[in-house]
Amino acid sequence: MDNIEKEGNIPRIYVETSVVSGMFDDNDHPIKARPFWEAVQSGHIIVVVSDVLQQEIAAAPQCVRDFLNSLPESQVERIASSMESEVLAVWYIAKRVVGESSLNDCRHIALATVAKTDAIVSWNFRHIVKRSDKYNGVNKKFGYSEIAIKTPYEVIHDEI
């Protein structure tokens, strides 16, 4: 866990929907994500939660909503979509990082980018994690910083 804190700064990590809902999957995601959520609970990570995440989990099972609501408010930063983040999300589609059906995935990346978070965590390999180079290529083209796109496991075990 020492890897995640740098120079006394608590990292701000944007949490994409799959990481919250993934805590209730029948695979190894809950086990691999547990240290991430423990780091949040113990004050070592601030999770950045967006209106897009809130909208997506509104239809999720109650246990998912309860899990998100159980996080200490001191460890949660809430952000909202803006014209800037919406335009960047559309640019990801226009530059063919992913197709139009993945617009919300693009919104997550754009929100994390515009908010200048330290990283975004996701279990969505197909539309998010494995396309980090493409998202960052668009970010660079439009003057934004690169963003680390990792799994919760990687945030705990790797440098951000």
Per the domain annotation, does 52 fall within a domain? Answer: yes
Joined tokens for residue 43? 């004050």
As a whole-number percent, the residues of the chain with pLDDT over 70 amount to: 94
CATH of the domain at 20: 3.40.50.1010
Per the domain annotation, does 89 fall within a domain? Answer: yes
- List the domain range (segments joined by +) for residue 75: 14-157
Q: What is the pLDDT of residue 27?
A: 82
Per the domain annotation, does 8 fall within a domain? Answer: no
Per the domain annotation, does 116 fall within a domain? Answer: yes
Q: What is the pLDDT of residue 6?
A: 55
Per the domain annotation, does 5 fall within a domain? Answer: no
Number of domains within the chain: 1
Low-confidence ranges of the chain (pLDDT < 50): 2
Q: Which stretches within the chain are classed as H helix? A: 17-21, 29-41, 51-57, 62-69, 83-94, 103-114, 132-141, 152-157
